[in-house]
């Protein structure tokens, strides 16, 4: 979900020589297909490539973590630190991606970078342990929405596109993340500006999952009814208090509009999504 978007964005910008290791789907003919759980082969492959930057997009999500905690502990918690050790060995910079799910959502206000990571489930705990807080390397903490390459995806947009009739939208589930294309943009910015430590990628605004789903509906033209549903109050929104980003992170309206346009323009990669033919064909994919 994240890895292919970052790769494609950096390729589009054409400012870097790119190499990629993939588990399921080759992004290019020269993609290296490996299982990161084969630790020696995985680490040795990166060691031989000796990149200047390692961008770690590997992660086991909530359902996968619940089904196989051992796998989640290895990939989410242990592997980032193994990559950190390798990065120091080959003089590379590690950029690791983390999640708002390290927080429980019970604070009742937005989280800042040094708040206690109080998430309770396996996913939260393993992602929390995997964060790299280091003056030479970087963890980008955020939450994302975007298209997936696989048919059995579990993130919010993929779930939405596979629904019909009526669905519930949680009005008390509060979010402050970005689209995957905006995360890719932030990764490039972090490389160009040599940012280290921990950074929150957000536009510092909140949106409920109900309103986010309505933006999906608006820009995909999907024929579906979204019913407001209060549910349990969970506010996992967070703030960027470092405020080093020298560009404006877009509004949710613009992020979702650009996301759907990207999917439409690249329909051959996202054939699992029925994006309406009435979406305009001429648009700029990256902004």
User: pLDDT tens across 99-129, in order?
Assistant: 999 999 999 899 999 999 999 999 999 999 9
The CA distance from 34 to 43, in Å, is: 10
Give the strand pairing for 197-200 and 21-22.
Answer: unpaired
Give the predicted TM-score (pTM) of the model: 0.93
**CA distance linking residue 94 with residue 101, whole number of Å:** 21
Query: What is the structure's pLDDT at 124?
Result: 98
C-alpha–C-alpha distance, residues 173 and 237, integer Å: 9
pLDDT on residue 172 = 97
Q: Contact 58/66 with Cβ under 8 angstroms?
A: no
Query: Which of the four CATH numbers 3.10.180.10, 3.30.413.10, 3.40.50.720, 3.10.129.10 does domain 3-148+177-203+235-250 have?
Result: 3.40.50.720
Provide φ and ψ at 56, rounded to 5°: -95, 105
CA nearest 147: which of 189, 97, 197, 181? 181
Q: In this predicted structure, what is the pLDDT of residue 267?
A: 87
pLDDT along the chain (287 residues), means of 10: 95 93 87 96 97 97 95 98 98 98 95 97 98 97 95 91 97 98 98 97 98 97 96 96 97 97 91 72 45
């Amino acid at each position: 979900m994240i890895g292919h978007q970052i790769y494609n964005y950096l390729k589009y910008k054409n400012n870097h020589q790119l190499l990629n290791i993939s588990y399921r789907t080759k992004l290019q003919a020269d993609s290296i297909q490996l299982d990161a759980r084969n630790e020696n082969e995985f680490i040795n492959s990166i060691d031989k490539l000796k990149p200047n930057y390692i961008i770690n997009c590997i992660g086991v999500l909530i359902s996968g973590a619940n089904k196989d905690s051992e796998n989640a502990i290895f990939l989410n918690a242990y592997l980032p630190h193994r990559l950190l050790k390798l990065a120091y060995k080959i003089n590379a910079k590690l950029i690791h991606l983390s999640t708002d799910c390290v927080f429980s959502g019970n604070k009742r206000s937005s989280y800042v970078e040094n708040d206690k990571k109080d998430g309770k489930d396996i996913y939260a705990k393993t992602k929390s342990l995997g964060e790299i807080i280091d003056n030479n390397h970087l963890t980008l903490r955020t939450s994302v929405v975007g298209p997936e390459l696989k048919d059995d995806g579990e993130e919010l947009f993929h779930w939405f596109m596979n629904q019909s009739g009526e669905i519930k939208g949680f009005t008390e589930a509060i979010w402050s993340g970005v689209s995957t294309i905006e995360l890719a943009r932030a990764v490039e910015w972090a490389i160009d500006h040599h940012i280290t430590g921990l950074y929150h990628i957000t536009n510092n605004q909140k949106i409920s999952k109900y309103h986010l789903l309505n933006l999906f509906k608006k820009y995909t033209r999907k024929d579906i009814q979204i019913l407001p549903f209060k549910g349990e109050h969970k506010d996992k929104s967070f703030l960027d208090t470092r405020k080093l980003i020298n560009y404006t992170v877009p509004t949710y309206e613009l992020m979702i509009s650009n996301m759907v346009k990207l999917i439409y323009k690249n329909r051959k990669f996202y054939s699992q999504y029925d994006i309406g033919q009435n979406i305009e064909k001429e648009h700029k994919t990256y902004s």
